[in-house]
């Protein structure tokens, strides 16, 4: 029997990308998977791949709407039971030069990426604490520990997820609730394909040099970390390197990031001058 066998697990943003990969791998490990997302057509497609003779289900939920989250959780708890694990994976992004990002995009990032995580966690915690067990897994990003060029709105929301989760870990550690935070690097997902339409040139150059992980690889590392009850989960060797480097260097990480931006700017200028000949 695996660690996840017969565990009831809720995954937000479970209809595509990393969430879909997590759902599929968890179903294969014998978990009872409930996926939440906004688009019913994608939820149905994902659910059809899970099998499991009715052990899995989906629900249309916009995690940025607190009432929808509360209603969905109340329905799950009354009809099925209290989840063993909650994976707050839902997220949106819109990269751009920071002065060009509309305020409504900043608000959307906070509402979905940060408050969406808070809404479900705060809804679930009282029942988990009463039971004396549970595991909350919050998905941040590499942009949640490094100020990544082009991610002024997205990165801020993911830094907020980290701050909230750090406090959550501290308060839950001796109360029976396990907490994990995941920092995925650039991952080959539909969201990545969409964000590439908006990325500034410098962002593409910097992120392109770091490589791209598959959603399955990120999901596999994430589940290994959950099973081992790790707090920090860092998929990808390069990602782990930057996390350690950031913590070791402190403020010295800024000259390194500045160097990467300068290299991208040189290439950008080179392309412009080459195109003007």
The CATH number covering residue 97 comes to 3.40.50.720
Query: Is 140 in contact with 182 (CB distance < 8 Å)?
Result: yes
What distances in angstroms separate CA 222 from CA 98, 230, 268, one per listed residue? 31, 9, 36
pTM for this entry: 0.90
Which residue out of 141, 157, 158, 164 is catalytically annotated? 158
In a domain, 182, yes or no: yes
Query: Does the annotation mark 140 as catalytic?
Result: yes
Q: Look at residues 24, 189, 163 and name the one whose alpha carbon lies nearest to residue 91.
A: 189
In a domain, 2, yes or no: no
pLDDT tens digits, 111-120: 999 999 999 9
Q: What is the pLDDT of residue 101?
A: 96
Which residue out of 114, 154, 164, 207 is catalytically annotated? 154
Query: Does the annotation mark 170 as catalytic?
Result: no
In a domain, 1, yes or no: no
pLDDT tens digits, 55-102: 999 999 999 999 999 999 999 999 999 999 999 999 999 999 999 999
**CA dist., res. 6 & res. 9, Å (int):** 9
In a domain, 276, yes or no: no
Domain region containing 115: 8-269
In a domain, 224, yes or no: yes
Number of domains comprising the chain: 1
In a domain, 114, yes or no: yes
In a domain, 101, yes or no: yes
In a domain, 277, yes or no: no
Which residue out of 140, 141, 157, 207 is catalytically annotated? 140
Query: Does the annotation mark 273 as catalytic?
Result: no
DSSP 8-state secondary structure symbol assigned to residue 115 = H
Structure tokens at 228: 């081992």
């Amino acid at each position: 029997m695996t660690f996840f066998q017969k565990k009831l697990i809720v995954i937000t943003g479970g209809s595509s990308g990393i969430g879909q990969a997590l759902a599929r791998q968890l179903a294969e490990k014998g978990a009872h998977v409930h996926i939440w997302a906004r688009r019913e057509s994608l939820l149905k497609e994902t659910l059809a791949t899970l099998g499991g003779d009715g052990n899995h289900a989906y629900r249309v939920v916009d995690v940025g709407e607190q009432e929808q989250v509360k209603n969905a959780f109340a329905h799950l708890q009354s009809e099925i039971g209290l989840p063993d694990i909650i994976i707050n994976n839902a997220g949106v992004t819109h990269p751009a030069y920071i002065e060009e990002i509309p305020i409504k995009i900043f608000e959307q990032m906070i509402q979905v990426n940060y408050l969406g995580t808070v809404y479900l966690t705060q809804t679930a915690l009282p029942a988990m604490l009463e039971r004396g067990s549970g595991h909350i897994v919050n998905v941040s990003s590499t942009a949640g520990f490094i100020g990544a060029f082009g991610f002024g709105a997205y990165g801020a929301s993911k830094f907020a997820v980290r701050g909230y989760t750090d406090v959550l870990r501290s308060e839950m550690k001796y109360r029976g609730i396990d907490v994990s935070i995941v920092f995925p690097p650039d991952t080959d997902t539909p969201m990545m394909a969409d964000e590439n339409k908006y990325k500034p040139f410098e962002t593409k150059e910097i992120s392109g040099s770091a490589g791209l992980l598959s959603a399955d690889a990120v999901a596999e590392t994430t589940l290994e970390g959950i099973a081992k009850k790790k707090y920090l989960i860092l998929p990808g060797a390069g990602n782990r390197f930057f996390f350690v480097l950031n913590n070791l260097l402190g403020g010295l990480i800024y000259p390194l990031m500045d160097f990467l931006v300068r290299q991208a700017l040189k290439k950008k200028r080179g392309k412009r001058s080459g195109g003007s000949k």
